[in-house]
Amino acid sequence: MDARVVITIALRVRALRTGCGNWSGAASARRLLMPARETEAIILKTFPLGEADRLVSFLGRSSGRVRGVAAGARRIKNRYGSTLEVLSHVQIWYVERETRELVRIQQADLLESFHKAQSDYGLSTGLAVISEISELILPEHEVSEPMFRLILLAVREVERTGDWSLPLSYFAFWTVRLGGWLPRFDRCVACDEPFGQHPAFYDAHQVGLFCEKCRRPGMKPLHLEARNLAERFAGERLDRIAYEKSMQASARELREAALSWIELHVERRLMTRELLESA
């Protein structure tokens, strides 16, 4: 056992004996032993851990997806406040532990609050879909600047507009695009016939879009308007696209198709998807 481990254990014992009061002192001492890492981050998910702690999964701008423990985060008077809410935009400090997979989160400061979206049931359903998808597709410890920016942009727009329809379509479309799973939108994957004005068809079991002749039973349509919306998404930023009532059906079709392609890629059903129907 090296000296560093001994000191860390000693500090932990002292922190336990003296309770929360001495926590920050122990933390700053620990910080001297193991250099703390700091990153801008988005909270992806949190779970209760034991009686007092929370397990936190976050996407760090400079660290990629990381899982860690926030000690004491379940106590009523904890120093995290609302920083550990799903999809909060925070600055986070943590230490890696050589022997364990989970990092120790020392501090999180809120950079940007999405309180309206987080506290509204309907809106938080949209956030839950973004959170589940991000958690599933992002590999651990792999930096992804495009996904970081995409998540932040989508959540900001849910908060700003009070509606997840367009942000979620945009998020799902771009997730598929960034993942490289987007099929051709102009012609049938089976017979190569251009779709023209006709609807294209998809499901969550086959890669690609199919024409009316090649479609299989149970496939859903992606009409021209939805394919045109995809083109707009590819070229315009979400916060510059004005949502009009007439876009509702296309936004929904495109979102449903993109969610199916995500499910095809991760080889499982998205748990949060059916919540959208009721929200």
CA-to-CA distance for 158 and 13, rounded, in angstroms? Answer: 44
Out of 6, 9, 10, 191, which residue is the one contacting Zn ion (CB under 5 A)? 191
Question: Stretches 78-86, 99-107, 193-201, 257-265: which one binds Zn ion (CB under 5 A)?
Answer: 193-201
Binders of Zn ion: how many residues, by CB under 5 A? 6
Cβ-based nearer residue to Zn ion, 6 or 191: 191
CA-to-CA distance for 44 and 57, rounded, in angstroms? Answer: 5
Q: How many CA atoms lie within 13 A of 30 on its CB side?
A: 27
CA-to-CA distance for 180 and 177, rounded, in angstroms? Answer: 5
- What do you get for the CA distance between the two ends of the chain, in Å? 54
Vertex 83 angle, CA 109 and 61, to 5°:
65
Q: Site residues for Zn ion, window 133-172 (CB under 5 A)?
A: none
DSSP-derived 3-state class of residue 114: coil
In angstroms, give the least distance from the CB of 103 to Zn ion.
Answer: 50
The binding track of 199-238 with respect to Zn ion, each residue x by CB under 5 A or -, is ------------x--x------------------------
Out of 36, 95, 151, 188, which residue is the one contacting Zn ion (CB under 5 A)? 188
Question: Stretches 75-83, 135-143, 164-172, 192-200: which one binds Zn ion (CB under 5 A)?
Answer: 192-200
Please say whether the beta carbons of 42 and 58 come within 8 A.
yes
Cβ-based nearer residue to Zn ion, 205 or 237: 205
For the chain, give the number of residues: 279
Q: Is 189 in the site for Zn ion (CB under 5 A)?
A: no
- Where on the chain is the footprint of Zn ion (CB under 5 A)? 188, 190-191, 193, 211, 214
